[in-house]
Chain A
């Protein structure tokens, strides 16, 4: 009992994780043997848990804008003070010059000649150091659209009323290089031409087993694919071959991922944009999906690789958000936002799970547990999908953004349904998805038709015939890849990537080049994030949203290849390895 008395004084340190070494071991040993102290420890944990519980406050959208303005003011003040100090020093120097050195004309000439280079150099420094910081173009928080240095001067078309930048009509689509194929010819090729995804082979070309690339490829996409092939976990024992660290140049995708790593919150989530506060779950899920697309699954060398660490933390955070009762990933401020958060969270965790299962790691205890949680989330998603077209009187908000929500839900369910047989879904689900997409087609025709093509490609079905909406969707993406709604861009690109003719499809290659060029124009040259400065009708967007979907749009070809490879592997042993008997 005296041992208990002594140790109880230390229990709170133990609960707070402050006891280390011998003391920690002594407490742990005592707890294992003493039921009374275990009860005391549980009570302390409950008290500490309660103290730490409660919502994490998030700043309002105006907070960052106003903070950025105040920091700008601090910088201006610092520059002003530095200039004054410089002038004072220069004045002091001149006084010295007059008093001591300029007593004879010959000395004046010699001293002047000696000082001339310094005076010129100092003047150059003063001019350059007092120029406004170039970083103004490159802030984390964009108040308006990114500035185009080559853009013509703003013309106020409103009769002198002064329309703010953000209300100006979107800039004309880039004209492209003279030698580059025109948008129309690419659209013709993609939609109607020889390499049409609609008339061509619906099944993606067989993908070879991953090989270590020799290097030497300069295309950004080849570099991405090398990373994929190097890092995609191998089937057979689940043990990857010793990693060969490739020296890869920074690409738009890696720079964007590194920005995501830097802006991840300590708890593993990402802050949503200012258009839809409270959308942490959806934003974090999209960011995780971007990492997963690059095969950063959070199970690699978490200690050494910050991207693996970011993926692991985001996965943990998302699972913590899952409701234990109905499997929903809760987020956002209304029912529509809940559906969006739930659909993209399920997709991100599902994609990660499938990749790990394809690598032969599905039988581990963690993955079996995750499998059941994802399966419950999928069942809940089917219910959500049905509610989208039959919103009850209690959920009028569900009609908001129903097209976009249906698109993400359909993509998620198709991924689960057509990548092996790892998940048990209702047999009627396929028909339900088709019905929902057909009903919502009038609301957002381009988005829905792109989703239909993407889902059909996953199901290896010949898609619906080419129609005007599909042509318009492809034209929109090609015309202004940087200014289009990021979800639509991703879905169109996914459908085209999944139905291209192997890896050498001329039309798709032109499409990819356009996409890379367009996204390059809205990528921060220093920080790496994508931000068009626009806000979207559904869920507002934001820098993390655009960056994640920028990565996903640039990775569609690699995703399609990975998907085909996973389907080959999971088709053979599929759910038998993941589902507990």
Chain B
């Protein structure tokens, strides 16, 4: 339930193989699999690839379990591995590490396909469905941020990690995290209004006329 519990579970998992160690690790997987998978789905928009990445991160975490020390938060340890792995994947596949390649393009079908795949990850309650237009705009705006700002938004805002953890994961000073979060949110709000004015609704209107 708490960060301390996660640390204890990870330490327990680091004490060997099988038995209680594996049990502890399975509990950690159960707790974090949804969040990690969502993290990767948001990165790449490809559900299958996201699941592969999530699995690989857990395998790497398990291999590294005896190197975990309790002075680091478990989430810091996990997201550091996840982020490094995603950088490797993005480089090797030569894809932009974000969901919004389709969203930012004019390819409406591709965009809808990606969104439907993200939405298919879990049936959403109706209240969330109502927000899908705003979500689209937000994803489009997020895609237009520079990579360093996008990183702090993903970790500090979306994943709600404390600044100190974001600082440790990205290896930048806390002051830089704060200034980037501030700049990113301001830029997102500008971009949102821009997308709102010229984005999806206009395209839909045009589609209706043709």
A residues in contact (CB < 8 Å) with B: 9, 12-13, 16-18, 43-44, 47-48, 50-60, 63-64, 66-67, 70-71, 74-75, 78-79, 133-135, 138-141, 261-266, 271, 278, 306, 309-310, 313, 321, 323-324, 330, 332-333, 526-527
Contact = CB atoms under 8 A, between A and B. Distances in A.
B23 A12 contact: no
Contact of B22 (A18, A135, A310): A135
Given A59-B51, A309-B1, 18 more contacts: A12-B182, A18-B162, A55-B122, A55-B123, A55-B124, A57-B34, A57-B122, A67-B29, A70-B59, A71-B22, A74-B62, A75-B18, A264-B31, A265-B30, A266-B31, A310-B1, A333-B123, A526-B19
Nearest to B54: A59
Interface string B133-153: 011001000100000000001
B158 A52 contact: yes
Contact of B38 (A43, A51, A56, A266): A56
Contacts of B30: 140, 263, 265, 271
A526 B138 CA distance: 46
Contacts of A64: 29, 33
Nearest to B19: A135
B59 A71 contact: yes
A67 B32 CA distance: 14
Contacts of A313: 1
Contact of B138 (A18, A51, A79, A527): A51
A324 B32 CA distance: 29
28 contacts: A9-B182, A12-B185, A18-B162, A43-B189, A52-B158, A54-B42, A54-B118, A54-B124, A54-B128, A55-B123, A57-B37, A57-B122, A59-B51, A63-B33, A70-B55, A74-B59, A75-B22, A133-B17, A133-B19, A139-B22, A140-B23, A140-B26, A262-B27, A263-B31, A271-B30, A271-B33, A278-B123, A330-B125
A57 B118 CA distance: 8
Nearest to A278: B123
A283 B138 CA distance: 32
B103 interface: no
A79 B182 contact: no
Contacts of B25: 71
Interface size class of B (residues with CB under 8 A): 35 or more
Contact of A56 (B22, B34, B138, B181): B34
Contacts of B126: 323, 330
Contacts of A79: 17
B11 interface: no
Interface string B10-48: 000000011110110111011111110110011000010
Contacts of B181: 12-13, 16
B105 interface: no
B182 A264 contact: no
B128 A53 contact: yes
A58 B128 CA distance: 16
A133 B20 CA distance: 11
A139 B26 contact: yes
Contacts of A75: 17-18, 22
Contacts of B59: 67, 70-71, 74
A60 B153 CA distance: 27
Contacts of B185: 12, 44, 47-48
Considering the complex of A and B, which 3 residue pairs feature the smallest CB-CB distances, nearest first?
Answer: A133-B18, A57-B121, A140-B26
B169 interface: no
Interface in B115-132: 118-119, 121-128, 131
B178 interface: yes
Nearest to B37: A57
B163 interface: yes
B23 A138 contact: yes
Given A52-B160, A70-B59, A57 B47 contact: yes
A265 B1 CA distance: 7
A58 B124 CA distance: 11
A263 B27 contact: yes
Given A18-B162, A63-B54, A278-B123, A265 B34 contact: yes
B169 to A, nearest CB: 15
Contacts of B160: 16-17, 52
> Which of A12, A66, A79, A134 has the most chain B CB atoms closer than 10 A to its own CB?
A12
Interface string B42-82: 10000100110011001100110000000000000000000
A311 to B, nearest CB: 12
Contact of B157 (A52, A55, A135): A52
